[in-house]
Amino acid sequence: MRRAVYPGSFDPVTNGHLDVIERAARQYDEVLVAIAHNEAKTGLFTFEERVALLREAVQQHPNVQVTQFQGLLVDYARSVQAQVILRGLRAVSDFEYEFQMALMNRKLDSDVETMFLMPKEEYTYLSSRLVKEIARLGGDIGAFVPDCIARALRAKFAATDSAPSRKP
Ligand code: ADP
């Protein structure tokens, strides 16, 4: 059983993440998309919202599961008997951080291998941060995220915009 863990914040999941997940689903028997649960780091979407959105976005892949982890990633990988940590590489700018993380994780547990997958070229410029920024400014995000995420982003910003603003 070849099991891989794909960790991240997924705030929210984009077509770039999904491209990586699809590639991984073809290579591994089971892919656990693991959302990092970090109390100190609040995103646009709550942790529960990110789990629900990700589940909806990957539902067509029977061998992909959405899970969560807290603490050290290598401990989580070991606890679920995953041999591989997956990360996506978009551009040279991702490389330094990812390289450092991969080597650090190897130091912590030499049995878990980090593997990198590159998305389709058209997704290499995509990030959750940019998608959120475009959605916040009312831009069209249809090409960057699946429909369920685009709807959730629109609803999130509509709710934020209609919230009563505090007087200065
Ligand atoms: P993190 O906070 O761990 O960077 P992200 O949710 O932003 O979490 O990303 C999770 C993983 O997916 C990282 O390896 C990141 O490099 C990768 N990733 C993010 N966006 C893309 C994309 N457009 N194409 C391919 N990989 C991506």
Nearest by Cα to 70 from 37, 48, 109, 33: 37
- Confidence check: pLDDT of 11 > 60: yes
Degrees, nearest 5: CA angle 155-157-161: 120
Q: What is the DSSP letter of 12?
A: T
Closest by CA position to 81, among listed 115, 109, 116, 51: 109
Measured in degrees and rounded to the nearest 5, phi and psi for residue 93 equal -60, -30
- Check whether domain 3-123 has CATH 3.40.50.620, yes or no: yes
How many angstroms is it from 16 CA to the middle of ligand 1?
8
Nearest CA to ligand 1 atom 15: 88
Query: Which residue CA neighbors atom 16 of ligand 1 most closely?
Result: 88
Q: What are the phi and psi torsion angles at 68 (to 5°)? A: -140, 160
Among protein residues, the one whose CA lies closest to atom 26 of ligand 1: 88
**Statement: the pTM of the whole predicted model exceeds 0.85:** yes
Of 20 and 40, the structure prediction assigns the larger pLDDT to: 20
pLDDT, one tens digit per residue, over 79-136 is 999 999 999 999 888 899 999 999 999 999 999 999 999 999 999 999 999 999 999 9
**What are the boundaries of each domain within the chain?**
3-123
Residue with tokens 């709550």: 46
The pLDDT tens digits of the residues spanning 61-85 come to: 999 999 999 999 999 999 999 999 9
User: What are the distances in angstroms from CA 90 to CA 63, 73, 155?
Assistant: 24, 21, 28
Residue 56 CB-half CA count within 13 A = 16
What spacing in Å lies between the alpha carbon of 14 and ligand 1's midpoint?
9
pLDDT at 34 > cutoff 70: yes
- For residue 7, the CA-to-ligand 1 centroid distance in Å is 9
Q: Which residues line ligand 1 (CB under 6 A)?
A: 8-10, 14, 16-17, 20, 87-88, 90, 94, 119, 123, 126-128
Going by CA atoms, what residue is nearest to atom 10 of ligand 1?
8
% of the chain residues with pLDDT over 90: 88
Looking at the CA of residue 127, tell me the nearest atom of ligand 1.
20
Q: Over range 27-33, report the average pLDDT.
A: 98
Instruction: Calculate the average pLDDT of the chain.
Output: 93
* Identity of the highest mean pLDDT range in 3-7, 155-159, 164-168: 3-7
Active site residues: 17, 41, 90, 128
Alpha helices in 1-146 (DSSP H): 15-27, 47-57, 73-79, 92-108, 128-136
Which residues does 58 contact at the CB level (< 8 Å), separation at least 6? 18, 21, 33, 64, 66
pLDDT over threshold 60, residue 164:
no
